[in-house]
Amino acid sequence: MATLMENTIAAVARTCPAYMGLTAGRHTRMMLACARRFLSQIAFFTVPLPDRQSGVDCSAARGIARRFDLEYEPLTWKEPTSSDIQDWLYRTGTCVAGRTLRTVRTLRGLDPNRGILSGALGAVGEAVWWHKGDLKGGYLSLRDLLARAGMPAMPELLIRAKKWLDELPTKNLYTILDFLHFEQRLGAWVGPQEYGHVSGRFIISPFCHRRIMQLKLTLPVQVRLRDRLPVELLRSRWPELLQFPFNGNTTMKRALMASRRAGARVLALSRRMPISLDAHVSPVDLPIYGSRSRIGSTSVRPI
């Protein structure tokens, strides 16, 4: 996987100077490790959003840049105007809002002649929306499925969730949860972001590679649960980067905490609602999917 990422970064570096985001997170640290041989062609930046998370990211990025003598460009925060927001929503099909939308005006401070290496899709295969109890196998009801994605068990959503599950060519619990995150969050929210950022020469993610996705999705379950991939990659490519702490708990643990809180609230709400408003919906509340079979043992839909 590291070699594949290095190949992508090398191709970009040979084409033109580039930017790479740098935060306290695991994905940008993995990218930095794979960019070690191409640092003369890459400048690093951190978006200084006015919130606590960004403060941690900026502090870590500045420390890493000083320690390893990286070219680091500080940005000045600029709130997006109403016109900026409308343009962004138009370009992304109104699929993307929140912190990412707010960065659009600030990112115009970057040199438009440079390409941008982003960490998009770095979260593929990272046990997002898994719960600890999933290691025991078992079943996943449609209500649970929607709750993990932070959606209420409304009749129309139950119908659509059942259709989505029926079309998956697998009943493997882990694969179902992977593709729930992959198709219902990464594809529908992360992907459209690439259309929003138009001020740079181009934007490309080293993680966005079919073989990398296959490798991440077929890692042993325990490796994914413990979020060991970032640590092992850094050890093999640039172990000194491990001397700097990551932002909070592991990606998976943060996701589990958020998923558990949101899912519990949504599930509690949905259980106070009627299962359906018409007789055709009621069967979908049955616990119908999930098994303890080995992840990767069945085929999956093409990406």
Q: What is the CATH number of the domain that holds 133?
A: 3.40.50
Q: What's the rounded Cα separation, in Å, for the pair 43 and 22? A: 10
294 is a domain residue: no
pTM metric for this prediction = 0.77
98 is a domain residue: yes
Summarize the confidence of residues 193-197 as an average pLDDT.
87
Please give the structure tokens belonging to residue 159. 């119908």
196 is a domain residue: yes
**Residue ranges making up the domain that contains 253:** 2-289
Residues in the chain: 303
44 is a domain residue: yes
25 is a domain residue: yes
Cβ contacts of residue 5 below 8 Å, gap of 6+? Answer: 30, 31, 34, 206, 207, 209, 212
Query: Would you state the pLDDT for residue 257?
Result: 44
Query: Would you state the pLDDT for residue 139?
Result: 78
Q: What's the rounded Cα separation, in Å, for the pair 274 and 214? A: 40
Q: Which helix (H) or strand (E) holds 157?
A: helix 155-167
212 is a domain residue: yes
Phi-psi region of 125 (alpha: psi -120 to 50; beta: other; left: phi over 0): left
Query: Would you state the pLDDT for residue 282?
Result: 33
Q: Which of 16, 46, 48, 193 is nearest to 112 (CA)?
A: 16
What are residue 140's DSSP bridge partners?
Answer: 289
Summarize the confidence of residues 51-75 as an average pLDDT.
95
145 is a domain residue: yes
Cβ contacts of residue 290 below 8 Å, gap of 6+? Answer: 137, 138, 139, 140, 171, 172, 173, 176
The CA angle 41-43-47, to the nearest 5 degrees, is: 155
Which residue, chain included where needed, has tokens 């078992």? Answer: 138
Contact 203, 194 (CB under 8 A): yes
- Give yes or no for residue 73 having a pLDDT over 60: yes
300 is a domain residue: no
Residues of the chain with pLDDT > 90, as a percent, come to: 57
What total number of domains does the chain contain? 1
Query: Would you state the pLDDT for residue 261?
Result: 52
- Give yes or no for residue 119 having a pLDDT over 60: yes
Place 296 in a pLDDT band, splitting at 50, 70 and 90.
very low
